[in-house]
Chains A and B, each alone.
Chain A
Amino acid sequence: MRDAFGQPQSALVLGGTSEIALNVMTKLAMARCKNIVLAVRNTTAGEEAADTLRALGATVSVISMEGTRPETAAGTVEAGFDAAGGHVDLVIIAAAILGEQDDFDDDPAATAELFTVNTTWPAAAMAALRPRLLAQGSGHVAVFSSVAAVRPRRSLYTYSSSKSGLDAFTTGWAESVRSAGIKVQIIRPGFVHSKMTKGKSAPPFTTDADQAAANIVAGLSSNKLIIWSPPVLQWVFLLLRHLPQALWRKMPG
């Protein structure tokens, strides 16, 4: 159950090997979160992640998920709740593909797959989550979007727009569960130095995964719909989203 500070005791992470999500879970496990389920594509990597959390005294289950097959999303959610013992305080949706824009530009199959993993599967999972959360009478869902979702650009438009879709879906979904007392938050990290972004050129306002996790954990205990990391990006993007396209094109990063 959540405590007065909004700290969860149980969590289900869909996309449990995401580096930022794992850093977030490490901080939550050091506090009250001792019952964790990681849904992962690669169970070997998932077990490694689980061991990190187990070392902090958490009980961790690893289940497999297939983000390329949206028809499996409901089953993954069900397995995740079962592994947690029936009640989950916090669900984090973190599964995503980033990739290189060049690989998607002229490739219909790769583009379709990225949208499946980043948008379709998470949306299907949230549709499966909704009745479960309403029945359990409390809950908190945090969905990883990205600052890139706010305004796509040439260098990353496939990823960005897939996150825009999920971000918009979550905004509406949050309204649909609001009166039932379910807390929903959209996480929009800026550029994070991690294995996912290795070798990419970094724009201003970057963080490492640990700083991003600290910002996100602070945000999770607030009542804000959108968690920005670093928080200053909220104001930066208030400006950037309205820049004329000709100027936006010239922005670094």
Chain B
Amino acid sequence: MIPSSDATLAGWGNTAPSRATLKRPRSASEVAEIISGSSNHLIARGLGRSYGDPAQSAGGTVIDNRGLVQRSTIDPETGVISLGAGVSLDELLRESIPAGYFVPVTPGTRQVTVGGAIAADIHGKNHHVDGSFMNHIESMSVVTPTGTFTTSPTQDAELFWATAGGMGLTGVVIEAKLRLMPIETSYVLVDTERFDNLDALMEEMVTGDHRYRYSVAWVDCMTKGARLGRGVLTRGDHATADQIDLTKPRLEAPGAPKLSIPFTAPKGLLNKFSIAAFNEAWFRKAPKRKDAEVQSLSTFFHPLDGVSMWNRLHGPRGFLQYQFVVPDSASELVPQAMELLSSRSVPSFLAVLKRFGAGNAGLMSFPTAGWTLALDIPVGASHASSVLDELDGMVANAGGRIYLAKDSRLSPHLIPDMYPELTQFQAICDRVDPNHRFASDLSRRLNLRG
């Protein structure tokens, strides 16, 4: 029997929950059995770290991939490992770091599954050097309503690149071969620099990012005037063995969370005043400039993993994350977006600003060359909805797009502009799933299947 239960599911932002039958298969054949044995909508779900509604399907069946945990050992010649889609990056890193390997791409949390990383084609602080997650997948197998397919950039490449960033709509990824990155130590040498305004920060990112494998800026969107967009730029590279103090363990696996938020915070705890105060304290805490600081991989990549369930701080109505990318030719959209939010009093936690390198062949993959800005916004401010609609229009006009793994409120009419390869994507989905069995609340909200 495949474990099954009724569940109310929401994304990490806790905004629009829906009910579904949740099933946890343990093999490709059990996934196929679930697909053929049900008549309603289907979508896969990993650890539920997408902010909005891509891993839930109202009234349908949600396939929990956390039962798909088979994995190989790391090939010492190539650094390739075969991983079940339900393996989390946390589980992988606990094993791979002591063996001298890091994941080639990591988001701000280790609590994502390999399947989820493929469905969102996730990116990290090294996109300008290493591209996104799918650039490091050698092959994968996908179970669809018309059969199981093994795909790679050379075998059934159209299905491979439709599944990359395809938000789970081509089927259920069962396992994937991932190329890991060799590391000498579990430390990063970090240069930190604080900027009082956005222009200077962006200028430094354009001229200096290429010197580092990792680069990201944290920006304050709640100040006004000349200080709008003041920020802290952190950039770094993996430390080699001769760069660190040898009294430390050279390759140390990440630890478990130290803190947990035990219950949902009261409504309004995070408002424009408390957020502005937090942003101020955080800015002042950063050094004006600090070079070659040794930080652990966890501190540098996954600071929020130290506090489990931190999303509860946003209260019962939840929060959303707004992330867009615009090409370099529209770099003025970064300050314009901050001015819009600041002038209309939409509270936003520290924004994350980063430069992307070239995108890959993923039809629905988010990253494209240019600037990407990500903002956390509490849902309580109801006027935020129309302000963000305005911002969507500006992003679309500039040839940019919104990240679907973060979205929970975009209007469907903008999708064809933002994702010009949508029709090709839909044709490939139709090839493997002619009856439109795969659908999530996200795909129905944004009409992704057409």
| Contact surface of A with B, Cβ cutoff 8 Å | 1-7, 9, 31-32, 87, 134-138, 180-181, 218, 221, 223
The chain A residue sitting closest to B377, CB to CB, is A4
Q: Other CB < 8 Å A-B pairs besides A3-B15, A4-B16, A137-B19, 11 of them?
A: A1-B53, A3-B408, A4-B15, A4-B379, A5-B382, A7-B409, A9-B412, A9-B445, A137-B59, A221-B382, A223-B316
Let me know if B320 is at the binding interface, CB within 8 A. Answer: yes
B266-295, CB < 8 A from A: none
In the bound complex, what is the Cα–Cα distance between A31 and B388 (angstroms)?
A: 12
A4 contacts B13, CB within 8 Å? yes
Q: A4-B52, A5-B409, A137-B20 are in contact. Are A218 and B58 (CB under 8 A)?
A: no
Residues 44-61 of B, flagged 1 when their CB comes within 8 A of A and 0 if not, give: 000000001100011110
The chain A residue sitting closest to B62, CB to CB, is A137
A6 contacts B16, CB within 8 Å? yes
Residues of the B chain whose Cβ atoms lie less than 8 Å from the Cβ of A1: 16, 53, 58, 441, 444-445
Question: How many of B's residues come within 8 Å of A, CB to CB?
Answer: 29
B18 contacts A137, CB within 8 Å? yes
Let me know if B73 is at the binding interface, CB within 8 A. Answer: no
Q: Nearest 9 A-B pairs (CB), nearest first?
A: A137-B59, A137-B58, A4-B408, A4-B15, A138-B18, A1-B445, A137-B19, A138-B58, A3-B409
In the bound complex, what is the Cα–Cα distance between A87 and B58 (angstroms)?
A: 10
In the bound complex, what is the Cα–Cα distance between A19 and B197 (angstroms)?
A: 51
Residues of the A chain whose Cβ atoms lie less than 8 Å from the Cβ of B317: 223
In the bound complex, what is the Cα–Cα distance between A25 and B113 (angstroms)?
A: 41
In the bound complex, what is the Cα–Cα distance between A180 and B19 (angstroms)?
A: 7
Q: Could you pull out 26 A-B pairs where Cβ atoms are within 8 angstroms?
A: A1-B16, A1-B58, A1-B441, A1-B444, A1-B445, A4-B379, A5-B379, A5-B384, A5-B385, A9-B412, A32-B411, A87-B59, A134-B19, A137-B18, A137-B20, A137-B57, A137-B58, A138-B16, A138-B17, A138-B19, A138-B58, A138-B441, A180-B19, A181-B18, A181-B19, A218-B382
Residues of the B chain whose Cβ atoms lie less than 8 Å from the Cβ of A138: 16-19, 58-59, 441
Residues of the A chain whose Cβ atoms lie less than 8 Å from the Cβ of B20: 137
- Of B17, B57, B445, the contact of A181 (CB 8 Å cutoff): B17
Let me know if B8 is at the binding interface, CB within 8 A. Answer: yes
| Contact surface of B with A, Cβ cutoff 8 Å | 8, 13, 15-20, 52-53, 57-60, 316-318, 320, 379, 382, 384-385, 408-409, 411-412, 441, 444-445
Q: Least Cβ distance of A172 to chain B in Å?
A: 21
In the bound complex, what is the Cα–Cα distance between A3 and B408 (angstroms)?
A: 6
Q: Least Cβ distance of B308 to chain A in Å?
A: 22
Q: Least Cβ distance of B439 to chain A in Å?
A: 10
Q: Least Cβ distance of A133 to chain B in Å?
A: 9
In the bound complex, what is the Cα–Cα distance between A162 and B137 (angstroms)?
A: 64
- Of A4, A32, A134, the contact of B320 (CB 8 Å cutoff): A4
Q: Least Cβ distance of B386 to chain A in Å?
A: 8
Residues of the A chain whose Cβ atoms lie less than 8 Å from the Cβ of B60: 137
Residues of the A chain whose Cβ atoms lie less than 8 Å from the Cβ of B412: 9
In the bound complex, what is the Cα–Cα distance between A135 and B20 (angstroms)?
A: 9
Residues of the A chain whose Cβ atoms lie less than 8 Å from the Cβ of B444: 1, 87
Q: Least Cβ distance of A184 to chain B in Å?
A: 15
A4 contacts B409, CB within 8 Å? yes
Q: Least Cβ distance of A223 to chain B in Å?
A: 7
Residues of the B chain whose Cβ atoms lie less than 8 Å from the Cβ of A136: 58-59
The chain B residue sitting closest to A5, CB to CB, is B385
Residues of the B chain whose Cβ atoms lie less than 8 Å from the Cβ of A181: 8, 17-19
Q: Least Cβ distance of B48 to chain A in Å?
A: 15
Residues of the A chain whose Cβ atoms lie less than 8 Å from the Cβ of B318: 4
The chain B residue sitting closest to A9, CB to CB, is B445
In the bound complex, what is the Cα–Cα distance between A221 and B17 (angstroms)?
A: 14
The chain B residue sitting closest to A2, CB to CB, is B16
In the bound complex, what is the Cα–Cα distance between A138 and B17 (angstroms)?
A: 8
Q: Least Cβ distance of B197 to chain A in Å?
A: 31
Which of A6, A9, A138 gathers most chain B CB within 10 Å? A138
B16 contacts A3, CB within 8 Å? yes
In the bound complex, what is the Cα–Cα distance between A221 and B53 (angstroms)?
A: 17
The chain B residue sitting closest to A7, CB to CB, is B385
The chain A residue sitting closest to B384, CB to CB, is A5
Residues of the A chain whose Cβ atoms lie less than 8 Å from the Cβ of B379: 4-5
Q: Least Cβ distance of A120 to chain B in Å?
A: 29
In the bound complex, what is the Cα–Cα distance between A248 and B380 (angstroms)?
A: 37
Q: Least Cβ distance of B162 to chain A in Å?
A: 22
Q: Least Cβ distance of B321 to chain A in Å?
A: 10
Residues of the B chain whose Cβ atoms lie less than 8 Å from the Cβ of A87: 58-59, 444
Q: Least Cβ distance of A134 to chain B in Å?
A: 8
In the bound complex, what is the Cα–Cα distance between A3 and B382 (angstroms)?
A: 12
The chain A residue sitting closest to B52, CB to CB, is A4
Q: Least Cβ distance of B242 to chain A in Å?
A: 49
In the bound complex, what is the Cα–Cα distance between A3 and B322 (angstroms)?
A: 13
The chain A residue sitting closest to B410, CB to CB, is A3
Q: Least Cβ distance of A245 to chain B in Å?
A: 37
Residues of the A chain whose Cβ atoms lie less than 8 Å from the Cβ of B316: 223
In the bound complex, what is the Cα–Cα distance between A2 and B318 (angstroms)?
A: 14
Residues of the B chain whose Cβ atoms lie less than 8 Å from the Cβ of A31: 385
The chain A residue sitting closest to B21, CB to CB, is A137
Residues of the B chain whose Cβ atoms lie less than 8 Å from the Cβ of A223: 316-317
In the bound complex, what is the Cα–Cα distance between A2 and B17 (angstroms)?
A: 9
Q: Least Cβ distance of B114 to chain A in Å?
A: 27
